[in-house]
Structure 1
Amino acid sequence: MADSFAFWEMSGSWDHHMTQYKEETGVSINHTNMGYDEIIDRLQTRLLAGTDAPGVAMIEYSSLKQVADTGGLRDLSPWIQEAEIEKEFPSSIWESVSSGEETYEIPYDINPTSLFYRNDVWEEHGVSDDIETWDQLIEEGKKLPDDVALLSVPSAALDLYWRMLYWQLGGQTFDGDGNLAFDNEKSLKVFELLNRLGEEGLTSDVTNWSQQWFSGFNSGSITGYCSGAWFNSTLQESVSDTSGKWRAMKLPAFEKGGPRASNRGGSGLCIPEQVDDDVARRTFDFALKTNANAEEMAWLFENVGNFSAYKPAYEEDVFDQEFEFFGGQKLGQLWIEQIENIPPHRFTVDTPTVMDIINSELRKVVYGDTSPKDGLENAVKDAKKQTNRGVA
């Protein structure tokens, strides 16, 4: 194996992993941390050019197929089988990192979803958190004053809400043949729910990641947000003064007894085809000793807040720890319970295009006058036109 390699990533969580690997192997790592969009653009350019790609790169699952569409990623499935690690990751995750028989990434993190909420504000206004369904949550949310929002549902993130909730119902944006597959009742249910939340006046449209957004969480004028497990660390870092006042629950079900598990976010490590075999073997070894290492993945959860995709790590004590910020809740256990219930989800090179279209239509549905039915029909029609794909 090579004694050095270049590594591109965009999370800023790798210093510890790299230090551990360098101490164990003596390998030199040329590390570059860049923005989410930048890493995709630069990697695609290098893959298409056939030169100057890094030995390994971290790419989000939702963007992986864009990168793989260049034809420049190495199929890792033979090495994954050789390492016998497939069963050590959630079965659903392999759909996100594979295309046909080829697998392009070793999973790093997975992000079971939760509704994060201000327990103190809910208690102050008599809002119960004994919630199973969205209907129950909406009725409880009506108890909040007009100037207090039940949920942050930003216009710029409506597509992410849609995918998270549609994923919860087991929906696929694309079928196995690549056809558009969101023209159905499950998708309409999500359009209708988001429309209902908006019409009931329970949402805040404050721009996500803005100072005003975090100010709303801090003051309690925005009391909830649905996101992946990673959002717990965002809250702890950004609104630290509210420690102890937050809680998390599974996403409400669409009906009693319905599914409550979904995913929002996650990434893995991919290896370009153009790098020499000795470099590829080295970077695959790096991925194994990090992503498929219980101690490293326990460190990730404890110190960064990212939820590991490597199931053996869940036996480590940190996944049973109480979170003071969340009133002593054992968030690790909350998310572990969801892992095997998260449905698989399929991404394609056209995922970003379709998501932009859905977001545009949902803005008109949630914060405009378009009906959910018309919004969905418009989204399907526009997606068919822009992607030249059939409709399942």
Structure 2
Amino acid sequence: MKRHLLRRRAVLASAGLAAAAPALAACGPDISSDEEGGGSADALQAPTADSPKGEITIWDRSGDLFEVFEGVIDDFNAVYPDIKVNHVAVDIDAKLQNTLITGTDVPDGVFLDDAKIGGYTDYLWNLGEVLKPYLGDIAQQKIDVNTVDGAIYGVPYDLNPGLLFYNATALEAAGVDATAIATYDDLLEAARQYKAAVPDAGPIHLEQSAFLGQLQLEMYASQLGTSIADADGELRLDSPEYLRILQFLDTVQSEGLGTRAEYLTPTDVAEMDNGNQVFYPWAIWFSFAPQQMLTETSGDWRAMELPAWDAGGPRSGAMGGSSFVLPKDGKNADLAWLFYEFLMYDEVGYTAVWGPSDTYPTGLNTSIPAYEPAADPSAPLFEPVEALGGQDLWAVATEAGAQIPGGTPTPAWWDGAVDYLGNDLQRMLDGDMTPEEVIDSSTEQIQTNLVDRQ
């Protein structure tokens, strides 16, 4: 779990949008597509041999997930004994671009942030044909973020649903019923009640990092069925949905209902442990905090679905994610597909990934599978989380994940937008900009400096 924290805080990769890849391709290849998103040109075909043979090279980042995937190789070889897997720990951000451009020693499969896939599509296989048997059972948001011009370029790995984590013990002591929170208006009212009981409190987390603040903003936008760019990469920040989100955050700031801190820095942890910060709207990977970071309030926290923006609306949005891609210049990409197919769509494979292992004795509980049969609320792959009071986080997360609306590919300029939207959001939380000014300023600067120059 310590390795897990270092990886999450260093790259925020499975967590979401690390620095976006350079735009190696302004858009995906010009291909035709069928109704299932398979496309026709550059479509990978699965091996037809009864017992496929060969050798594959798979790139993953070093750390906890590398060890998890490493532990599944023996299970894979029990099914495909004649496929040798060379599993290599690589600094993917540093090596992948030059490797794809030069075409030298190209791996057969790579673990990649969803945010970066759109920039590499010219170098990747269209996976629509091999994924076709599974498309109806994969979370729509994950299909959408991997689809460019009708072709699908990633094998979806994780789903990172947004959840509302809350300090149940502190709220109960203050007479606040967290279970009554169904909408963001309810959350504001609960925060007001808590602050009335605990005057020094800033009950709701307000992210102080420009990058993570923008990432959290996209979680809220996902919940409302939108994102910073549409499916064609066109900017759509100037919208009623973004205005509504910014007005909510501005209300938290202006009424003194928030704690400004950067995710899991000492200040952030201290304000949770002292009972001042009791609501944390974040992706499922926040579950790491009570397990490893909180010393005074571990066991007091619980998780619930995000509040809805409107009564009866979706109770979650996506906050980050990763997939597996298959480079065209890999020697045996078709065999690498068999590895990922086993990992994600075979019960033995996905149980080994999310279930108890040497790396995670109680299971990998910081994400859930994107494959819906694997994300069955009634068949948990990881165990209840002791640091959440023994709560069944699996049931909460899978039910939330099922409510995430569809999405769009992340534009290659997303990371650059942090200089404008991420920073303007922080100025608003400083009280120096209004929500309307954030939208006007960020829209103009992103359009002029990023979109128009792409």
Is the CA contact (8 Å cut-off) linking 2:306 and 2:315 kept in structure 1?
A: yes
Aligned residue type for 1:363: Q
| Partner residue, 1:170 | 225
| Partner residue, 1:308 | 369
Superposition deviation, residue 322 in structure 1: 3.8
1:253-300 CA-partner distances (Å, limit 9, x unpaired): 223233322111211110111112xx2012111101101123433343
The reply on whether 1:45 has 2:45 as its aligned counterpart is: no
Larger displacement relative to structure 2 (316-325 or 236-245): 316-325
Superposition deviation, residue 350 in structure 1: 1.7
The reply on whether 1:323 has 2:374 as its aligned counterpart is: no
Is the CA contact (8 Å cut-off) linking 2:271 and 2:277 kept in structure 1?
A: yes
Is the CA contact (8 Å cut-off) linking 2:114 and 2:321 kept in structure 1?
A: yes
Equivalent residue of 1:265, what SS?
A: coil
| Partner residue, 2:24 | none
Within the candidate set 86, 96, 102, 1:30 is matched to: 86
The reply on whether 1:337 has 2:399 as its aligned counterpart is: yes
The reply on whether 1:21 has 2:73 as its aligned counterpart is: yes
Equivalent residue of 2:112, what SS?
A: strand
Superposition deviation, residue 150 in structure 1: 1.2
1:30-72 CA-partner distances (Å, limit 9, x unpaired): 33445xxx5234212211222233221111212222333xx21
Q: Could you say if the C-alpha distance between residues 123 and 111 of structure 1 is closer, same or farther in structure 2, counting changes exceeding 3 Å? A: same
Superposition deviation, residue 381 in structure 1: 0.5
| Partner residue, 1:135 | 185
What does 1:1-392 correspond to in 2, within 5 Å? Answer: 1-9=53-61, 12-22=64-74, 23-24=77-78, 25-26=80-81, 27-33=83-89, 38-68=91-121, 71-81=122-132, 84-129=133-178, 130-142=180-192, 143-144=194-195, 145-156=198-209, 157-239=212-294, 242-276=297-331, 279-302=332-355, 303-305=363-365, 306-315=367-376, 317-319=379-381, 322-346=384-408, 347-389=410-452
Is the CA contact (8 Å cut-off) linking 1:159 and 1:356 kept in structure 2?
A: no
Superposition deviation, residue 19 in structure 1: 3.1
Equivalent residue of 1:317, what SS?
A: coil
Superposition deviation, residue 159 in structure 1: 0.5
Q: Could you say if the C-alpha distance between residues 301 and 8 of structure 1 is closer, same or farther in structure 2, counting changes exceeding 3 Å? A: closer
Equivalent residue of 1:380, what SS?
A: helix
Q: Distance in 2 between matches of 1:10 and 1:59?
A: 13
Equivalent residue of 1:180, what SS?
A: coil
Aligned residue type for 1:21: I
Superposition deviation, residue 12 in structure 1: 2.5
Q: Distance in 2 between matches of 1:11 and 1:190?
A: 35
Q: Distance in 1 between matches of 2:202 and 2:352?
A: 35
Q: Could you say if the C-alpha distance between residues 357 and 30 of structure 1 is closer, same or farther in structure 2, counting changes exceeding 3 Å? A: farther
Q: Distance in 1 between matches of 2:313 and 2:57?
A: 47
Equivalent residue of 1:283, what SS?
A: helix
TM-score when normalising by structure 1 = 0.89
Is the CA contact (8 Å cut-off) linking 2:59 and 2:92 kept in structure 1?
A: no
Q: Distance in 2 between matches of 1:6 and 1:320?
A: 25
| Larger helix share, 1 or 2 | 1
Q: Could you say if the C-alpha distance between residues 165 and 11 of structure 1 is closer, same or farther in structure 2, counting changes exceeding 3 Å? A: farther
Superposition deviation, residue 341 in structure 1: 2.3
Superposition deviation, residue 163 in structure 1: 0.5
Superposition deviation, residue 174 in structure 1: 1.6
Equivalent residue of 1:375, what SS?
A: helix
Superposition deviation, residue 370 in structure 1: 0.6
Matched positions, count? 381
Q: Could you say if the C-alpha distance between residues 320 and 16 of structure 1 is closer, same or farther in structure 2, counting changes exceeding 3 Å? A: closer
Structure 1: gaps of 5 or more residues: none
Q: Distance in 2 between matches of 1:259 and 1:373?
A: 25
Aligned residue type for 1:85: Y
Larger displacement relative to structure 2 (230-239 or 150-159): 230-239
Larger displacement relative to structure 2 (124-133 or 104-113): 124-133
Q: Distance in 1 between matches of 2:264 and 2:108?
A: 32
Aligned residue type for 2:65: S
Structure 2: gaps of 5 or more residues: 1-52, 356-362
Larger displacement relative to structure 2 (169-178 or 10-19): 10-19
1:165-194 CA-partner distances (Å, limit 9, x unpaired): 111111132223321112111111111111
Superposition deviation, residue 229 in structure 1: 1.8
Aligned residue type for 2:292: E
Q: What is the alpha-carbon root mean square deviation over aligned residues?
A: 2.3
Aligned residue type for 1:386: N
Is the CA contact (8 Å cut-off) linking 2:261 and 2:267 kept in structure 1?
A: yes
